[in-house]
Structure 1
Amino acid sequence: MYAFGARGDCDIVDEPFYAVYLLQTGINHPMRPEIIASQPQNPGEVIETLLGPIPGRLPLQYQKHMSHHMVEGITRYWLGDVKNVFLIRHPARVVASYAAKRENPDLDDIGLRQQVELYDYARAMGDDPIVVDSEDIRAAPEAMLRALCEELGIEFLPQMLSWPKGGHAADGVWAKHWYGTAHRSTGFNSEIAPLPELAGDLGALVEEAMPYYRRLYRNRIVV
């Protein structure tokens, strides 16, 4: 999100269905009241905005969505009107990161199952979804972003490789809880730590998520 936000020609939308997700599931997330108050609570209104004119008459818009926010009450026809890119990350990293902020995650919390479901839905609509792995981007940021831009049919801009500390003006109100590492960053960190070793319920969750990850990983962009 910050890479696209650094372009200068791209509007940013951060997790527009978060409030809808919290209301429809009843789930308790950190900052739940603030999140619900900060966004439209009607999914139809959210979709109308996402498909409407881009603010500032900019030519591009980057919409960051969380796949687990796309609960059954949200229609999905609008996926045919956007270009779908699926960013994946090894389940061990996802689970470790999530568990550090919210206890006892389950498969629905981390979103990999829903990513595969949405990927298949987009393909059934005639789209050819793009898949990128986070570790591939960190290992070769410029090459991967060039490849992604080529797939999207847009120009790669060098300013996508860096951004100022402190986040983006379009960050959701939840950023102060979830985005600490991102706010301290100024670009892609190429130092990739070993996979976290998780045991017990967290380790079992990683194993449960792996088939979904492998399914998407096979279809990722490679450079």
Structure 2
Amino acid sequence: MKQRKDFEIRPEPFEASAYYSDERILGDNCPADPEWPREQYNYDKILDSLKSQLQKCGKLFVKDHPFYFIHVVNENFLNSFFHTFLIRHPKQALPSYFNVWPNVTFQETGYEAQRQMFEYVLEHTGKMPIVIDADDLVNKPEATIRAYCSHVGIPFIPESLRWDLSSEEKNGLPELWHSTLKNSAGIQTTNNSYLGVHENDDLEKLYNASMPHYTRMLANKLIVT
């Protein structure tokens, strides 16, 4: 979305609420900081800041993890966004997560909260939310993005599928979580040597707990031809 140039982007604004605010719900895996908690990261303040930004820019794309905010979702929250869900098979996502964060909790894998948010949106709108399968996005990026743009009513911009490698190296994103992005110039498959989901007891437990939530959403994914 960043490469489209017609949307402003806010990546994971509610992460600060979940980990660093007066209302924090997480944080055991984060280092202590004498300046935390901070009231300006509270959920209502972050939501207000997003609405204010949207009023100024006209088009705002927000990417976030539902486990950061699922407990504060209400009618006002649901009405504030047009919701899209990106899913990835646990056998692919969990080893990657586990590789950099071996003490990750099931809550922080995000599968349960994502499925809960999916159900909230479905119940609230009466319409099936858009679900994009990461396998489709990687294997058929142009067709997937074309289909998505058609469904949400925005123009497809082919140039948005590529980016300048040097710009991503300077974008300030943490190397720990964004090394693949910083070393690529487009959507692509990757090779790794991570543990498989059945090669570690903790990883296998996360996998077994995640699969029902993933399967529920996969059954309703956007069909890409």
TM-score class, shorter-chain normalisation, is: 0.7 to 0.9
Does the C-alpha gap of structure 1 residues 76 and 68 become closer, same or farther in structure 2, counting only changes over 3 Å? farther
Q: CA deviation at 1:182?
A: 1.2
Q: Is the 8 A contact 1:21 1:71 kept in 2?
A: no
Does the C-alpha gap of structure 1 residues 192 and 168 become closer, same or farther in structure 2, counting only changes over 3 Å? closer
Q: Is the 8 A contact 1:22 1:36 kept in 2?
A: no
TM-score, normalising length from structure 2?
Answer: 0.84
* Residue of structure 2 in register with 1:87 after alignment: 86
State the AA in 1 paired with 2:82: K
1:154 and 2:154 matched:
yes
Q: Is the 8 A contact 1:93 1:196 kept in 2?
A: no
* Residue of structure 1 in register with 2:105 after alignment: 106
Q: Is the 8 A contact 2:99 2:194 kept in 1?
A: no
Does the C-alpha gap of structure 1 residues 40 and 29 become closer, same or farther in structure 2, counting only changes over 3 Å? farther
Does the C-alpha gap of structure 1 residues 207 and 141 become closer, same or farther in structure 2, counting only changes over 3 Å? same
Larger radius of gyration: 2
Does the C-alpha gap of structure 1 residues 183 and 103 become closer, same or farther in structure 2, counting only changes over 3 Å? same
Q: Is the 8 A contact 1:132 1:221 kept in 2?
A: yes
* Residue of structure 2 in register with 1:202 after alignment: 203
Mapped partners of 1:193, 1:35: distance in 2: 37
Mapped partners of 1:35, 1:141: distance in 2: 42
Q: Which has the higher contact order (CA 8 A, sep 6+)?
A: 1
Q: Is the 8 A contact 2:70 2:117 kept in 1?
A: no
Q: Where do 1:144-223 residues align within 5 Å?
A: 144-165=144-165, 166-167=167-168, 175-190=174-189, 197-198=196-197, 199=199, 200-223=201-224
Q: CA deviation at 1:35?
A: 11
Q: RMSD across aligned C-alpha pairs, in angstroms?
A: 2.9
Does the C-alpha gap of structure 1 residues 74 and 36 become closer, same or farther in structure 2, counting only changes over 3 Å? farther
Does the C-alpha gap of structure 1 residues 206 and 8 become closer, same or farther in structure 2, counting only changes over 3 Å? same
Instruction: Write out per-residue CA displacement over residues 166-216 of structure 1, whole angstroms, 9 at most, x where no aligned residue.
Output: 5388x6x66333111111121010467899622312012111111100000
Long gaps (5+) in structure 2: none
* Residue of structure 2 in register with 1:72 after alignment: 71
Q: CA deviation at 1:55?
A: 7.5
1:97 and 2:102 matched:
no
Instruction: Write out per-residue CA displacement over residues 25-47 of structure 1, whole angstroms, 9 at most, x where no aligned residue.
Output: 24234577599699941110111
Does the C-alpha gap of structure 1 residues 7 and 21 become closer, same or farther in structure 2, counting only changes over 3 Å? same
Does the C-alpha gap of structure 1 residues 208 and 35 become closer, same or farther in structure 2, counting only changes over 3 Å? farther
SS in 2 for 1:6: helix
Mapped partners of 2:168, 2:185: distance in 1: 9
Mapped partners of 2:93, 2:37: distance in 1: 27
TM-score, normalising length from structure 1?
Answer: 0.85
Q: CA deviation at 1:104?
A: 2.4
Long gaps (5+) in structure 1: none
Q: CA deviation at 1:164?
A: 1.6
